[in-house]
Amino acid sequence: MGNWSTSLSRNGSAKGKLLPAEFFAPCTLEVARALLGKLLVVRSGAAEVMARIVETEAYRGDDPASHSSRGRTPRTSIMFGPPGRAYVYFIYGMYEMLNFVTEPEGLPGAVLIRAAEPLAGEELMRRRRPTARSSRDLTSGPGKLCQALGIRLSHNGQPLQGPRLEVRDDGYQPGPVSCSPRVGINAGQERFWRFFLTGHPFVSRARENALARSWRAGPRREVLSP
């Protein structure tokens, strides 16, 4: 398990540089891992909140668990690009889900942002999630995260270079990364396409954690099927 602490994970919390749309254009699995440790900034009027991404999931067009697996539809057309935009959808009649569109335009792909650590605007996050029992409970799951950060369906299609949404790199160097099957899917369970910072306290407590293994960079086949 990683040796994480709040003080460690808050180091370098200055906003850093804005990630261009080109950052999101490579293979979805590469982007899902590269997003760990990056900053997500959400603005609503004069209010701003910021969190560090600690858990992601990858979804591609050749993936039976992906919304785009059956081709382009009015709902999924955004997954076909261009990259570097938000894909937001509603689930269970109560939660928004925030995804980042990936891959070159014409190839469907998206990364689901599953969990993050609050860094700025926590008081506003608590007002948005009054039932949260702790800082960890604010953003340790994709539905919680969207509630706390104020993500709405109106964010669908918004660019990730502002003004409402930004993804930034402040130079933070994450520790070990784990991968596991994705959470809550029935198809594609053999694909270890969920990535998270090993042992980080803000990672969601999913049963798939018991199946996790260490991720290491290597040939593409190892990334696809660890």
Q: What is the pLDDT of residues 129-157, one digit of tens each?
A: 999 999 999 999 999 999 999 999 999 99
Rounded percentage of the chain residues whose pLDDT exceeds 70: 88
Residue 180 maps to a domain: no
Residue 130 maps to a domain: yes
pLDDT value at residue 120:
97
Residue 179 has pLDDT above 80, yes or no: yes
Residue 193 maps to a domain: no
Residue 56 maps to a domain: yes
Residue 222 maps to a domain: no
Sign of the CA dihedral with 214 first, then 219, 224, and 225 last: negative
Confidence of residue 14 (pLDDT cuts 50, 70, 90): low
pLDDT value at residue 73:
80
Mean residue pLDDT of the chain comes to 88
pLDDT value at residue 63:
84
Distance CA 74, CA 3 (A): 44
* Length in residues, the chain: 226
CATH assignment at residue 73: 3.10.300.10
Per-residue pLDDT of 30-58, as tens digits, reads 999 999 999 999 999 889 999 999 999 99
Residue 219 has pLDDT above 60, yes or no: no
Residue 197 maps to a domain: no
Residues 4/142/14/41 CA torsion (nearest 10 deg): 180
CB 122 within 8 A of CB 47: no
pLDDT value at residue 198:
96
- What domain count does the chain have? 1
Containing structural domain, residue 152: 14-175
